[in-house]
Amino acid sequence: MFWDVTLTLLEGFGGTMKLFVLTLIFALPLGLIISFGSMSRFTPLRWLTQTVVWIVRGSPLLLQILIVYYGPGLMFGLPLLPRFTAALLTFVINYACYFSEIYRGGIQSIPRGQYEAGEVLGMTRSQIFFKVTLLQVIKRIVPPMGNEFITLVKDTALVRVIAVYEIIWMGESFIKKGLIWPLFYTGVFYLVFNGLLTILFGRLEKKLDYFR
Amino acid sequence: MKKLFALLLAGMMILSLAACGAKKEEPAADSDTAYVKANGKIVVGITDFAPMDYKEEGSDEWIGFDADMAKLFAEYLGVDVEFIEINWDNKAMELETKAIDAVWNGMTLTEEVMKLMGTSEAYCNNGQVVVVNSAVADQYQTAESLSELSFAVENGSAGAEQLDALGLEYTALQTQANALMEVAAGASDACVIDLLMAGAMIGEGTSYPELTYTVQLNSEEYGVGFRVGSDLVDSFNAFWKDAYKDGTVMEVATTYGVQESIIAK
């Protein structure tokens, strides 16, 4: 019994992991692009990006999932995206916006003098960014990124609102068979995985310690 | 160079926004039956709800009175059937957006449901019953005695409507099963669920042996939901009448123990 439940929940956790990993793969680079947009010296682009970031960060993720999945069909009669794709799209956009602000914070925390020094040495702006700034930025954004990663793991539970099956959905399905404990048991999976993430981020921070 | 890139990016963003706003020119939905046939399958939205739609332990196939009849209906239309477990709160949106083609899951024909969907003729009788712990059941045999209980009920369900009508407070939960769990865990004194479900899920020999049901608050009927104005409604009614006459309906109903609730056609 315990073993059967564990297997079913693991299957559900597979869905959770798929969403988690794919969201990171797309949102991490997209976030960087958005952060460039919100730091751009070209005002309309900066204004546009900041508006998008405001909308995405300012409204509930749950609502965004519903809008992305049902919205096109309800408003324009368009065919719907597959459920998982809609969920992934929402998560990528949402998390890219959060990541972009973390990147921006990291990039803008690098002292002005380093850019000036780079310029004096005749480096181009992109050379300065990739050779001088980037690694320092990575070191600085590790702790807030760890926060976001852990939040992302738990936020995946929201997608069951459009019937994308993940571990909580699987846990709840046992209630109908009269088993209540599997729902609470799902917490162990989150805890173990987030524990691993915490250790991983701790190690990463140590590795990047040589900057100071 | 950089400005050009920035402009390009801005342009792309605006374009993608415009693409979202573009309306697809499509004639108003004519025949839903034609749509389903062109797809080669009818997509049926369900929840895990014994004895209507459920899976046998260790099996991946949906069975139950509704599931089996849905399979026969698909056969009648000459298409395949696909069952999708949906979030019950969103059933009207699922239909409207063509994520599913039918809601067939022991759905009570409430006024709200009939407004939001094209509904079939009723095929099954049901009622809302009050579930309490059997130790205290004898104190709550009348509707008047219920006022001192705390209730749990599925959000937006027929049970919730009954409690509203009685002016009783309740906690609204995602599913009827969650409502049962509330009572089993002692978080609420009582819950209101479907008679058919109570018959299958509580009492001796089930997962909730300590629970029992007392007052039946109303009687109601189950129907199948399609899109508003869909011609699948007529197809369904014709199919059901035939299936009832040749005894198929009762045969399937007997398999799942719901034969006493079936409405004669």
Which ipTM did the prediction report? 0.73
β-strand partners of B118? B226
Q: Residues B132, B196: one domain?
A: yes
pLDDT in tens, A23-37: 999 999 999 999 999
Q: Residues B39, B120: one domain?
A: yes
Residue B12 falls within a domain, yes or no? no
Q: What is the CATH number of the domain that holds B246?
A: 3.40.190.10
Contact B85 A165 (CB under 8 A): yes
Alpha carbon distance A13, B100 (integer Å): 26
A184 touches chain B (CB under 8 A): no
Rg (chain B; Cα; Å): 22
B91 touches B51 (CB < 8 A): no
Residue B146 falls within a domain, yes or no? yes
Question: Residue B197's pLDDT is what?
Answer: 86
Residue B148 falls within a domain, yes or no? yes
Q: Which of A47, A156, A58, A158 is nearest to A98 (CA)?
A: A58
- Residue span of the structural domain in which B38 resides: 32-125+221-261
Residues from chain B that touch A70, judged by Cβ atoms under 8 A, are: 90, 93, 97, 99
- pLDDT-based confidence at residue B29 (cuts at 50, 70, 90): low
Question: Residue A74's pLDDT is what?
Answer: 87
Contact A176 B97 (CB under 8 A): no
Contact B26 A180 (CB under 8 A): no
The pairing of strands B151-154 and B170-173 is parallel
Alpha carbon distance A103, B193 (integer Å): 51
Q: Where are the alpha helices (DSSP H) in B90-174?
A: 91-96, 111-116, 158-166
Distance from CA of B25 to the nearest CA of A (A): 9
Buried b (16+ CB within 10 A) or exposed e, A50-86: eebbeebeeeebeebbbebbbbbbeeebbebbebbeb
Q: What is the CATH number of the domain that holds A36?
A: 1.10.3720.10
DSSP-derived secondary structure letter, B52: T
Q: Is B8 left (phi over 0), alpha (psi -120 to 50) or beta?
A: alpha
Dihedral sign from CA coordinates of A76, A78, A82, A86: negative
Question: Rounded mean pLDDT of A118-142?
Answer: 91
Question: Rounded mean pLDDT of B223-252?
Answer: 96
A50 touches chain B (CB under 8 A): no
A63 touches chain B (CB under 8 A): no
Q: Which of A37, A165, A175 sits opposite B181 (nearest CB)?
A: A175
Name the closest residue on chain A to residue B202, using Cα atoms: A178
Q: Which of A66, A68, A21 is nearest to A160 (CA)?
A: A66
B219 to each of A196, B98, B158, B195, B215, how far by Cα in Å? 53, 31, 10, 9, 12
- pLDDT-based confidence at residue B260 (cuts at 50, 70, 90): confident
Q: Residues B121, B71: one domain?
A: yes
What is chain A's mean pLDDT, rounded? 93
Q: Residues B84, B139: one domain?
A: no
Q: Which of B257, B112, B114, B250 is nearest to B197 (CA)?
A: B257
Q: Is the pLDDT of residue A76 over 50?
A: yes
Percent of chain A with pLDDT over 70: 99
Check whether the bond before B51 is cis (ω within 30° of 0): yes
Q: Is the pLDDT of residue B185 over 90?
A: no
Residues from chain A that touch B13, judged by Cβ atoms under 8 A, are: 48, 52
Total domains in the fold of chain A? 1
